Structure 1
Amino acid sequence: MTTAHEPTARGTQPPDDRSGQRRSAPRAKSAPEHDQHWEERVRVASKILGIPPDSDPDDAICVTEVHATDGGGWRFEMGGTKVPPCSLLVEPLDPQQDYFSRGVHLGFRYSGDTFKPIIGQLLGFLTKRLVKATIGLLDKYLRPVEAPPMHDDDGSGGAAPTPPPERYGPCPGMHQSWNHENQWKWYLAKAELEQIKDSIVKFETPFVYIEHSDFECQFLAPRNFVCYPWKTPNRRFADADAREASSGLEGDQSLGLALYTNYKDIDVITGATGFISDVMEKVTQHLRPEVVWVDQTCVPEVIGDDTHTLVKLAAEKASFPILYKNQTPVDPYDRNLQMMREAFAAATGTPKTAGGVALVGLANDLAREELVTLLGELGATVTSAIIPAVAPSMAEGYLRAEVAAFYPNDEWKKFYVDLLGAQDVRRLDPPSPYGIAATHAYVRQILMALGREDQLAALDARRDAFVAERWAPRVAEAAQHRLGLVCELSQFARMWDAGASWGLPIMGTLAEMGFGLDLAVIATPDTGDEVDDAVRAAVAAHLPEGTQLSWVAAEAELDAWLASASFGPVFSEYFFDSRLIRHRHVPFSGQCFERGWQGAVRSIDRLLDRCHLPLVATYGDLL
């Protein structure tokens, strides 16, 4: 057996003893002073090899040093309380050479003063772990990335971005780069809403949620690009006091704990089920939640992390249920519905509160708190506000109500029935309380159901005073502006039907505010859209008076429509929609709207601000 001599980081490797082993080279006692990447390289090498770095002197086996060899390979020095100092040399496989062991692309050599059985086990483990690895892979993660040399135009001055290679053509616009030929049609985020619609429902039990994922997914998920109607980041802090004030409506629930693993690039190769094992062990030892959810996301699913088995093993030892979910769609409510049924059963016989009403489907925000206050001043006591927050502690408050007002949302129809359909509370289905008229109708229906007709005159007087003082002047100003709306024919119901659009009837709400509307309906032959007289009549029947309707059949036609200066801001559920920006239209979405009378004023003010925003109108083609 012959082997090539490989120089070490400190000199020349001792000659081969012709047994597949090498006599040990002296081990370093500290990081080489010239290698600023030494510590990081040891850490990364430890991940690759699946053994810990030299951070604890009591480690049974650990990596102590990593060196590149002149022959294009890598030498890993190891040791520990159970393993004497030894080295593993990994180099590109040469069929003509003899090795201690070999993988598909690599050859492995051992160097050490002794060869104990445990070393053979260690080398067998490392050979199996690196059986399909390549030197290129090791180089990618172990060699430091050298910064490119600085040039005069590397600062923050007027350096232009590097143009794309000519073979790629010009840089595409955002909607073209989303990799779908029909993206130009989509201004309503149907697919994204469908994907995440269940996440808004929060079961406020003492729980632990563990997401096994690449943490970068937290910033690449649809919620970072889609303006979900229930997400209101621009008012998050303004609503904080209201959420605190109304917390009693949602019971004395305990907060859950969300934990996230964090995939690194190397974990995609080596796997990261160890993260889950560590977290589950600590949760079992130190916490006593009512339920644990383990959510395996796309990356571990693709690389084959067997998280499901780990969850099953942990569930056998735990005193609480541990539930597993991957990217396969499942009913997310089964376990929680059972908990709620038990809570309602325990609260059977709860006495009713005279004039009590439960609000169903209204998120906890400032607008809801204002509705609660208005109802209270008119003689209706809100005993519960359930969904999207749900907790066993809410069951008693819901059963104390004489009536329950359900917020119109087609996505929650089944959930409403599954959770509340069997309870002894009379159901009301008032209009969605967006705008002045609908809020008035919402409160009026509740008062009448509670037998408080004596308060209807007071309700009317409040409305009239509010309209005269705060609403009418804004409507007069809004009448000077027109807004744009775009939708596919198949999605037209979202323009007018509150139930189909998460409670917001967009066209009706904007028309009540006084805005003129321009609507483009996209109907293309490839999706089977046939626009005959009956279809045109059905669409026209739902349009507010004065709406300008345009039918669009091609992307060029929509671009021409958007190029029109006859209207200002345009509705889009995609954040900072560059398709609108480049045509100098300010985007707006459902996040601009709030329920209730005061919420309607804040909503119209946001839209008027967008109408008056000069930045996009002046510099839209540069943004």
Structure 2
Amino acid sequence: MTVNRGPSVEGAANDVEALPLIQPTDGLAAHLGLGSAEDADDVTRVLSARWDTGRLFVDLVLAGGSEQTLFIEAVADGVQGFAQSDTLAISYTGSSLDAAFADCLKQVMESLGDSDLAALETNYPRDWSPVPKQGTPALNRPGRPLLPETNVQGLPALLGLAGPDGDFSTTQIVGAEWWGEELVIELDGPDFQPFAVVLEPKREDRTGYCSSEHMLFCYEGESIDEDQGRVVLKLAENNPDLTLDALREAFTYVPRVIQQVGKDYTEEDGMSVCGATPADPGAGDDGVTRAWRGKRQWYRFVCSKEISRNVMRSVDLMQSGIFVEHGDIECRFAMPTQRRGVPSFVNYPWKTEKRKLDTAQIDGRQGVTDNVMDSSDVGISFGFLTNLDDADVVLGGTPKLEEMLDAVHDKYPNVPIHFNCTCPPIVIADEVNLVLQNFEEKHEAPVVFTTQDPGSPIGDFSKVLEVAHAGSEFRPTDANGVNLVGFTLGADHDDLVDLLQSTGIRVNVSIIPHNNGELLQRYADASVQVFFPNGPWMRLYSNAFGDLPQKSVHAGPPFGIEGTRAWLKNVAKEFGREDAVDSVVDARLHSMKAEWDALSEEAQKCRLGFVLDRDDLDRLTTPVRNMGIPIFTMLDEMGFGIDVLCYTDKDEDLQYCRETLSGLEHGGEKHTAVAFTEQEELSSLLENGEFAAVFSEYFYDWRLTQAGKAQFHMAHFEKGLAGAIQSMERLVNICQLPFYRRYRRYLKRHV
């Protein structure tokens, strides 16, 4: 989302002339004694500027052509600048300072004289807005977007507001984003400044700006003005019965990456929510692969941080090009390797070893068991690396980069290039952009540039898709054709395809996490696109497919018997074929009834354990946060007993866990939850628990082996009806495996 939207706000419909969307810097440049962006190259020029947390950052191009950034702040205790007056201190970004830039800083300090921050704001306001025609009231527009561009889905209809493309004469929802159980919604309108309202469930320990029966209505930031306050009050008044479930149904639950990796947010992170309390303060980032002997590692069995850090490994970005990286080889080991045949620290959900052992068959046909995600093997897909050494860090790595790109072009002039720049070249200020720009001019295929921004791979993958279908006309030719997006290949995928075909729906293409040119060319033939409910891929879905004319469907997670039936009905409804679903599913269930009943009888004799804190429980019970897998629902449907060991000293957390389990179809007395707070308690519970296996996303978990327990994880679960049987058979076999119980005394860890 771009707050300064140009024509949509200041366009012809409002009888206002087209206005610049970038804040002019001419006045600031004159105040600093520098040239403006349009001046000749032989003077130091101001390119852009921005206010951030009380500092004014100014991007410059020096007379010699190099780009630098300085920042100016008020003098205060502890502030030490390169140069300073009685009121202002001037500093620079980066780790080194050459003579030309030092002279520039001195010149700026001299030009500032006795100025203070207020004088700078006069020449470069914090809340700048385009100046409309005389007589037209001006709104101060923030200098930064509040939320990323997003499809707000069903929120406008639910809340009674206009959408991003609606009439600007009324309040619009222009962006939305989930923060755990808090929904941040950016609002814009004709008579108030854009701001973000925050909706969250009512709780005894929280207060909001106002409230309804079930929800608190809060806002982002330290304060809101009177006009914004009226908007919040009216929103609450018009939605007295609003619930969290209704919001999640209207807007797919996709937690921010910052929350998926367990990072606490506070005012210092730029997110201060009225009435909201940061969760688990001071917990720290101590995942097993991020820190030695972290204080929480002893009770962590869920690897949310590690999975989120590597989630783009689950997308096949490399199939249609060559990977070229500028950096040092050590960067390749920032996280544990995922190379085939090499043990990993983490049981990633997209790993494929278990499929290769299963040789699963459905209806007598061999399934597609060689999952495309094996392209994550770095030994196969790594491509070219400059491999910077100490000398390159001192002298610069640009020559190595130019030499490598020339070699790649000579050998592969027509092959797309995926270029990744790691951190060291940025730190040592290599001219990567200039080199890559020159390379793009001569290379005869697209070049995609990936940075270390966490969202960059998603954006770059979207660019690959855009290039592939550039110029294509998306005119569906098959009214009964559907594209499956985000459904990994395998025997379970083939089962879903068979079910769709049995209801009269043809699968046109299945794309993401795999892709190739042929699939992209055929994508336009279908009239509907169905997305797999995987939160980390939602942004990719939106960027790559959100603007296409096909009807977009989020049909839920196709796992287990009832989950698959519901998914199939949701897809079939788009084609008017939902009445055919029950007969198709019932016929398939009849053919597999004997096998299901036999396995379910064995499953009812088994119990499975989980060691979780509240956030882990929320992840595992929210499919979109859990790679789409409703793990507790599936286990309950199969007949397994569930025992949760809950790390907490709060009665409400334990009660929440028990309520979650009792909400399952066969909950109540069948499933249990018990709290613990000490490591010795956990060891005793693991050793004496009735469960035969415990959920753990760590590859070799000695806490389980020394307790005589087997291990299971998310990669054991498959989609579809046949996938449900396959999943149950695996889990029953794991529970019945006597190895760990029999040899536990030999499997203890000796430290």
Q: Match for residue 198 of structure 1?
A: 312
Pairing partner for 2:329 from 206, 214, 225: 214
Q: Partner of 2:483: helix, strand, or coil?
A: strand
Q: 1:289 to 1:538 in 2, by over 3 A?
A: farther
Does residue 452 of the first structure (1) align with residue 566 of the second (2)? no
Pairing partner for 2:302 from 183, 188, 213: 188
Q: Match for residue 719 of structure 2?
A: 595
Q: What is the Cα-based RMSD across aligned positions, in Å?
A: 3.7
Q: 1:222 to 1:522 in 2, by over 3 A?
A: farther
Q: Partner of 1:228: helix, strand, or coil?
A: coil
1:487 positional shift: 1.4
Separation in 1, partners of 2:654, 2:692: 30
Does residue 493 of the first structure (1) align with residue 608 of the second (2)? no
Separation in 2, partners of 1:177, 1:476: 43
Q: Match for residue 65 of structure 2?
A: none
Q: 1:401 to 1:302 in 2, by over 3 A?
A: closer
Whether the 8 Å CA contact 2:493–2:719 is kept in 1: the answer is yes
Whether the 8 Å CA contact 1:352–1:402 is kept in 2: the answer is yes
Q: Match for residue 348 of structure 2?
A: 228
- Between 1:471-480 and 1:270-279, the stretch displaced more is 270-279
Does residue 508 of the first structure (1) align with residue 629 of the second (2)? no
Aligned pairs for 1:87-102 (under 5 A) are none
- Between 1:575-584 and 1:211-220, the stretch displaced more is 211-220
Separation in 2, partners of 1:179, 1:227: 20
1:261 positional shift: 4.0
1:368 positional shift: 0.6
Separation in 2, partners of 1:307, 1:243: 45
Does residue 562 of the first structure (1) align with residue 686 of the second (2)? yes
Q: Match for residue 734 of structure 2?
A: 610
Whether the 8 Å CA contact 1:205–1:392 is kept in 2: the answer is no
Separation in 2, partners of 1:411, 1:349: 26
- Between 1:589-598 and 1:279-288, the stretch displaced more is 279-288
Q: Match for residue 576 of structure 1?
A: 700
Q: Match for residue 471 of structure 1?
A: 596
Q: Match for residue 281 of structure 2?
A: none
AA matched with 2:623: A
Whether the 8 Å CA contact 2:492–2:718 is kept in 1: the answer is yes
> Which structure: larger Rg?
1
Q: Partner of 1:198: helix, strand, or coil?
A: helix
- Between 1:504-513 and 1:308-317, the stretch displaced more is 308-317
> Size of the alignment, in residue pairs?
437
Q: What TM-score comes out, normalization by structure 2 length?
A: 0.52
Whether the 8 Å CA contact 1:367–1:595 is kept in 2: the answer is yes
Whether the 8 Å CA contact 2:474–2:548 is kept in 1: the answer is no
Q: What TM-score comes out, normalization by structure 1 length?
A: 0.62
Q: 1:470 to 1:444 in 2, by over 3 A?
A: farther
Whether the 8 Å CA contact 1:593–1:599 is kept in 2: the answer is yes
Unaligned runs of 5+ in 1: 1-173, 248-255
1:197 positional shift: 1.4
Does residue 531 of the first structure (1) align with residue 637 of the second (2)? no
Separation in 1, partners of 2:386, 2:746: 37
Q: Match for residue 471 of structure 2?
A: 346
Separation in 1, partners of 2:499, 2:371: 14
Aligned pairs for 1:373-412 (under 5 A) are 373-391=498-516, 393-412=518-537
Does residue 518 of the first structure (1) align with residue 518 of the second (2)? no
1:294 positional shift: 3.0
1:508 positional shift: 0.9
| RCO comparison, higher one (Cα < 8 Å, 6+) | 1
Q: 1:402 to 1:280 in 2, by over 3 A?
A: same
Whether the 8 Å CA contact 1:311–1:323 is kept in 2: the answer is no
Whether the 8 Å CA contact 2:485–2:529 is kept in 1: the answer is yes
1:477 positional shift: 0.7
Whether the 8 Å CA contact 2:612–2:647 is kept in 1: the answer is yes
Separation in 1, partners of 2:658, 2:600: 29
1:383 positional shift: 0.6
Q: Partner of 2:456: helix, strand, or coil?
A: coil
Q: Deviations over 1:465-515 (max 9, x none)?
A: 134222111000111110101111122122222112111111111111111
Q: Partner of 1:346: helix, strand, or coil?
A: coil
- Between 1:195-204 and 1:487-496, the stretch displaced more is 195-204
Whether the 8 Å CA contact 2:499–2:584 is kept in 1: the answer is no
AA matched with 1:401: A
Separation in 2, partners of 1:542, 1:597: 23
Unaligned runs of 5+ in 2: 1-287, 339-343, 373-379
Identity of aligned residues (%): 25
1:394 positional shift: 3.2
1:399 positional shift: 2.8
Aligned pairs for 1:101-112 (under 5 A) are none
Q: Partner of 1:477: helix, strand, or coil?
A: helix
Q: 1:352 to 1:217 in 2, by over 3 A?
A: same
Q: Partner of 1:181: helix, strand, or coil?
A: coil
Pairing partner for 1:484 from 592, 596, 609: 609
Q: 1:285 to 1:536 in 2, by over 3 A?
A: closer
Q: Deviations over 1:339-390 (max 9, x none)?
A: 5345556332533313211112101222112221232233210012122224
AA matched with 2:297: Q
1:592 positional shift: 0.9
Aligned pairs for 1:8-23 (under 5 A) are none
Aligned pairs for 1:316-395 (under 5 A) are 317-325=442-450, 327-341=452-466, 343-344=468-469, 346-391=471-516, 393-395=518-520
Q: Partner of 2:724: helix, strand, or coil?
A: helix
Separation in 1, partners of 2:491, 2:711: 24
Q: Deviations over 1:384-426 (max 9, x none)?
A: 2122224554345333223222211222222222222222222
Separation in 1, partners of 2:393, 2:521: 51
Q: Deviations over 1:440-460 (max 9, x none)?
A: 222233233222356335314
Q: 1:423 to 1:328 in 2, by over 3 A?
A: closer
Separation in 2, partners of 1:592, 1:404: 27
